[in-house]
């Protein structure tokens, strides 16, 4: 069984951070392009908040990329993590029947830790 875990939203946050940085867009500017406060976007990018479908499509538009490109990057990153024995799971929302904040928060690799993991895995190829 996998010892390391992360959420789909945390992975999406890392993917968006990488794309945003590739395009030399600062986080504040990017949050404005998405119509969010910088604090709200920062929580999304760090994996502390979950993305909505609307926000995912808004992010692709803000990056001036096709939705499918964002989904392909996300899928490839998730596949890479799973192939390296990292469990990727849907974070329970507070209003869901399965929400148990103590387990969800404790199990997730968030922000810089996930980013470091992804960089390490990319270096293996």
Contact partners, residue 31, CB within 8 Å, separation at least 6: 37, 38, 40, 41, 42
Sign for the CA dihedral angle at 115, 113, 103, 83 comes to positive
Six-digit token pair at 54? 């609307």
Residue 92 confidence (pLDDT): 77
Domains of the chain with bracketed CATH:
4-123 (1.10.260.40)
Residue 3 confidence (pLDDT): 73
Residue 107 confidence (pLDDT): 40
Six-digit token pair at 64? 């001036």
Instruction: Give, for all 125 residues of the chain, the pLDDT tens digit.
Output: 547 999 999 999 999 999 999 999 999 999 999 999 999 999 999 988 999 999 999 999 999 999 999 999 999 999 999 999 999 999 876 655 555 544 444 344 555 456 656 656 655 54
Contact partners, residue 27, CB within 8 Å, separation at least 6: 20, 38, 41, 42, 45
Six-digit token pair at 30? 């990017």
Distance CA 112, CA 13 (A): 11
């Amino acid at each position: 069984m996998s010892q390391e875990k992360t959420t789909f939203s945390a992975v999406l946050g890392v993917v968006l951070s990488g794309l945003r940085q590739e395009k030399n867009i600062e986080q504040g500017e990017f949050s404005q392009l998405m119509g969010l406060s910088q604090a709200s976007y920062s929580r999304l990018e760090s994996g502390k908040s979950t993305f909505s479908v609307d926000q995912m499509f808004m992010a692709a538009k803000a990056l001036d990329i096709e939705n499918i490109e964002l989904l392909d990057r996300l899928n490839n990153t998730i596949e890479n993590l799973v192939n390296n024995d990292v469990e990727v799971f849907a974070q329970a929302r507070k209003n869901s029947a399965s929400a148990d904040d103590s387990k969800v928060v404790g199990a997730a690799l968030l922000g810089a830790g996930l980013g470091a993991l992804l960089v390490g895995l990319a270096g293996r190829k």
